[in-house]
Structure formats: structure tokens, C-alpha cells
């Protein structure tokens, strides 16, 4: 693509992105079995092709691509345009869906507290706003799509008027709001008996390194609580796993597409000429065509522990935001029982996207690997189950209570 920063994309640029996306899905997408039986990607793509080639507006084209990729219902397939992202400031808060209501989960706006119920945004009921834009939010299940609702910022004006559950109205100038830098949180609890580490993400290596430093600091504590409730992923924190692992552990069981031209060709021939085939030909092409969506699957052998820094009790806090590389971290501890998981099911999406950089700040990825628990149990769109299930209610958030951390502290101090 040409290196420009204009608000338009040429016909060639748009055609290139659309055709590369279609090819990538056909060759590498590893999550077909999760889609409805009647899902027809060719029809979805044709609709995107018509709309994408009809507009040279970069923002509108991005929405076409976001909808196309989101149709795959996979948390590790995406379309990303840095130009679009730079044009739309933060909402000023992170909404979450809780107890049938849209609630402020994080806030960077004065006067908008954690736990506030958001009834309307610019006069539109928040749930209706979500439903109107749901088709643009990629996710492996409905819970994941709702967790992506903060991306609705692309569709909203710079000034927002919120009607809150307590009757107040609050106006936000998004351009005046600065989202604070992410920070690692550490503390010593229970008179120093328990170390606490809150990790915002694994996208920046400084957070894994900071967590490692904290593990060393808390090495003599009885227990360690790792809080991953706002950690959406990044790069798998292998060093942190090794620092805490005191027994053999396993990686995911994984699978990917096994695409062979003869099998896909046989499927196409079968689809076109089925009614004209004799019994022998039908059996042959049916058998060959059935392999058109074949998969390779491989388990992970146990790895021996190295030299752990911390050998005390480990408790990990998780919820539906805990995803991707954070789930890579959690999985091994769940599989071998090294840690106690407290909270809710994790996000249920990890894997390696097949990445495409088409230049000019535009990238997209297609999920090319499907993970299962080491046991072979389903994971995608389900998540990793906690050992102790508990979550904060809206009332807890509004009162400033954290029952999940309170429960984790009780678990950490149990003999």
C-alpha cells in the first residue's frame, strides 16, 4: 500500500485488503467448528466486498472490515487501523455488563464512580446502543463481545451525556480525558503473610519483569495472590510461570487447519456435480471432500519445573477480562493444581493469529490455532473455570467492596 495518512483508501488498497482477508480465512482460520452450521462466509464476504469497494472513506471501510472479521466469532481474529484508533478518544470509562446492567468498571472521569449504572448514552439506552453495534465486536461468545463494548467509541461523538442509575446526568468531553498509564500494583497483606501483585497486561514486558521483582520481594511470604482480573493478555509470561512453578506442568492441547488442495477441490466438485454422480464416484468425492476442513491436533508433554523463586501457596484472581496470554499463564496452574483460581470463568480465547501488515497503520489477523485444555476439554468460548467461584455485584462495586479479593485472602491463609 502507498504510505499516506489521508482519510481515503484507493480502490486498489481496498481490494488488496479484502482479498488478502478472504484468502487468509480460507487457508488459516482454525475455528470453523465453532460457527453455526448454516454460516456461509462466502455470502458474508460478498456483502463486505460490495460495501467495501463502494466507499473510499477510510473510516467506513474500517467498519466494513470490522464487521467481516467479527462474523467469524473469534477473539483472536481482528482488524486494526491505527489511523481510526487515533481519531477516537477514550470514552473516559470502561463499561462492563453485570447483573443485566451496563456498569462502570473503570473510570478516568471525575464524578463517574466505579459501579455507576449507565442507563443511557446521548439519550439512547445503553443496551440498545450495544445491540446496534454488536456486529462490529469480535469475540468467541456473547460475554466476550459485551466485554468489547468500549470500542463503541468509534461510533460516538466527542461529547457524551450519560444518564446514570442514581438519576444524575453527566457530560464527558472525551478529548479532555486522558487515560492514565497502566501500573503494576503490589502490596503486603495480612501483616506481611501474603504478597499481592496486580498485573494490568502482558503487552508491555515491564509488567512481567515488575511481577518477577515482586515475586522475589515476597519470596518469604506464606502465600502469593496474582490478580489478573483486568489483564486482557499480551505475550505469554514464560519467565513468571517458571518463577512460580514447583511441579511438572503442561501447555495447551492445540489444533490447526490441515488444508490440502485435492480435498478442497473434491468438495467443490461434489457440491456442483452431486446429482450427476454414480454411487462409486459419490462415495469417493464424499470421502475426499470431507477432509476439506481437516485439522491437526497435538498434545503438550509435561515440562519439569526449573528453579522456582516462590514455593508457597499461589492464588490467582480471574474473571471474564482475563484473556489470551493471561489465560496461557493461568492454564498450567489450573491443570496441575499449583494455584487456586478464585473469581469467574476466564475470557476463553487464546491462540496465534496469522498476521497481515498491509501498511499505512493497517493490520489484520485470523485465528490460526485453536486451543483446548491440556486434558483435551473444550476451552474456546468457555474459558478456564475457577476453583472458587465468586464475583462482585453492582452493590459491592458501589460500596467499594471487593469480595473476590477478600475470598482470595481467606483461601491464601487456609492451611
Condensed to tens digits (0 to 9), the pLDDT of residues 316-328 reads 999 999 999 999 9
Copy the grid coordinates of residue 381.
Answer: 468460548
- In what side-by-side order are the strands of the sheet with 353-359? 78-81, 362-367, 353-359
What is the average pLDDT across 384-410? 98
Percent of residues, the chain, with pLDDT higher than 90? 88
Condensed to tens digits (0 to 9), the pLDDT of residues 368-393 reads 999 999 999 999 999 999 999 999 99
Q: Residue 4 pLDDT > 90, yes or no? A: no
- For residue 284, the model assigns a pLDDT of 84
Are the C-beta atoms of residues 159 and 91 closer than 8 Å to each other? Answer: no
Integer angstrom CA distances of residue 387 from 7, 135, 208, 318: 49, 33, 24, 10
Element (H, E) at 68: helix 58-70
Q: Residue 2 pLDDT > 50, yes or no? A: no
Condensed to tens digits (0 to 9), the pLDDT of residues 279-327 reads 888 888 888 877 777 889 999 999 999 999 999 999 999 999 999 999 9
Cβ-count burial 365-379 (b if 16+ within 10 Å, e if not): bbbbbbbbbbeeeeb
Which CATH number describes the domain made up of 185-254+300-351+368-413? 3.90.226.10
The fold of the 93-176 domain, in CATH, is Pdz3 Domain (2.30.42)
- For residue 223, the model assigns a pLDDT of 98
SS3 helix, strand, coil % of the chain, rounded to 5? 40, 25, 40
- For residue 259, the model assigns a pLDDT of 76
Condensed to tens digits (0 to 9), the pLDDT of residues 13-59 reads 999 999 999 999 998 999 998 999 999 999 999 999 999 999 999 99
Are the C-beta atoms of residues 99 and 223 closer than 8 Å to each other? Answer: no
- For residue 268, the model assigns a pLDDT of 82
What is the average pLDDT across 232-252? 97
Distance CA 12, CA 16 (A): 6
Are the C-beta atoms of residues 351 and 369 closer than 8 Å to each other? Answer: yes
Condensed to tens digits (0 to 9), the pLDDT of residues 245-264 reads 999 999 999 999 887 777 77
- For residue 318, the model assigns a pLDDT of 98
- For residue 3, the model assigns a pLDDT of 42
- For residue 119, the model assigns a pLDDT of 98
Burial, 65: exposed, middle or buried (Cβ in 10 Å; 0-12, 13-18, 19+)? buried
- What DSSP line would sit under 283-336, residue for residue? HHHHHHHGGGG-EEEE----B-----S--SEEEEEE-TT--THHHHHHHHHHHH
Distance CA 345, CA 316 (A): 12
Give the lowest-confidence range in 104-113, 114-123, 249-258, 276-285.
Answer: 276-285
Copy the grid coordinates of residue 264.
Answer: 478442497
- For residue 5, the model assigns a pLDDT of 57
| Secondary structure (H, E, C), 226-267 | EECCCCCCECCCHHHHHHHCCCCECCCEEEEECCCHHHHHHH
Q: Where are the beta strands (DSSP E) in 284-398?
A: 295-298, 313-318, 339-343, 353-359, 362-367, 370-372, 388-389
Residues in the chain: 415
Average pLDDT, the chain: 94
What is the average pLDDT across 66-83? 97
Q: Residue 1 pLDDT > 60, yes or no? A: no
Amino acid at each position: 500500500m502507498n504510505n499516506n495518512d489521508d482519510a481515503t483508501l484507493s480502490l486498489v488498497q481496498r481490494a488488496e485488503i479484502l482479498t488478502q482477508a478472504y484468502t487468509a480465512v480460507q487457508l488459516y482460520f482454525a475455528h470453523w467448528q465453532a460457527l453455526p452450521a448454516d454460516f456461509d462466509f462466502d455470502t458474508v464476504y460478498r456483502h463486505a466486498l460490495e460495501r467495501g469497494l463502494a466507499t473510499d472513506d477510510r473510516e467506513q471501510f474500517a467498519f466494513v472490515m470490522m464487521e467481516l472479521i467479527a462474523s467469524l466469532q473469534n477473539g483472536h481474529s481482528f482488524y486494526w487501523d491505527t489511523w481510526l484508533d487515533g481519531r477516537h478518544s477514550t470514552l473516559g470509562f470502561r463499561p462492563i455488563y453485570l447483573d443485566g446492567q451496563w456498569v462502570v468498571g473503570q473510570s478516568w472521569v471525575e464524578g463517574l464512580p466505579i459501579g455507576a449504572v449507565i442507563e443511557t448514552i446521548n439519550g439512547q439506552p445503553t443496551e440498545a446502543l450495544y445491540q446496534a453495534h454488536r456486529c462490529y465486536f469480535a469475540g468467541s461468545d456473547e460475554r466476550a463481545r459485551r466485554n468489547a463494548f468500549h470500542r463503541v467509541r468509534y461510533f460516538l461523538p466527542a461529547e457524551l451525556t450519560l444518564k446514570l442509575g442514581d438519576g444524575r446526568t453527566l457530560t464527558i468531553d472525551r478529548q479532555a480525558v486522558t487515560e492514565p498509564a497502566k501500573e503494576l500494583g503490589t502490596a503486603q497483606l495480612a501483616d506481611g503473610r501474603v504478597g499481592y501483585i496486580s498485573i494490568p497486561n502482558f503487552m508491555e514486558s515491564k509488567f512481567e519483569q515488575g511481577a518477577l521483582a515482586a515475586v522475589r520481594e515476597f519470596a518469604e511470604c506464606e502465600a502469593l495472590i496474582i490478580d489478573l482480573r483486568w489483564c486482557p493478555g499480551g505475550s505469554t509470561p514464560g519467565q513468571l510461570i517458571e518463577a512460580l512453578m514447583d511441579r511438572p506442568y503442561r501447555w495447551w492441547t492445540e489444533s490447526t487447519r490441515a488444508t490440502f488442495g485435492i480435498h478442497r477441490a473434491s468438495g467443490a466438485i461434489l457440491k456442483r456435480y452431486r446429482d450427476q454422480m454414480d454411487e462409486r464416484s459419490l462415495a469417493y468425492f464424499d470421502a475426499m471432500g470431507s477432509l476439506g476442513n481437516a485439522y491437526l491436533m497435538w498434545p503438550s508433554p509435561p515440562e519439569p519445573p526449573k528453579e522456582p523463586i516462590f514455593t508457597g501457596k499461589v492464588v490467582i484472581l480471574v474473571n471474564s477480562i482475563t484473556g489470551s496470554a493471561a489465560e496461557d499463564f493461568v492454564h498450567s496452574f489450573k491443570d496441575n493444581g499449583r494455584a487456586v483460581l478464585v473469581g469467574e470463568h476466564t475470557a476463553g480465547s487464546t491462540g496465534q493469529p496469522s498476521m497481515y501488515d498491509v501498511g499505512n497503520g493497517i493490520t489484520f489477523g485470523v485465528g490460526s490455532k485453536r486451543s483446548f485444555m491440556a486434558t483435551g476439554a473444550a476451552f474456546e468460548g468457555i474459558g478456564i473455570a475457577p476453583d472458587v467461584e465468586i464475583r462482585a455485584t453492582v452493590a459491592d462495586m458501589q460500596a467499594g467492596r471487593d469480595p473476590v479479593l477478600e475470598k482470595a485472602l481467606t483461601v491464601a491463609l487456609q492451611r
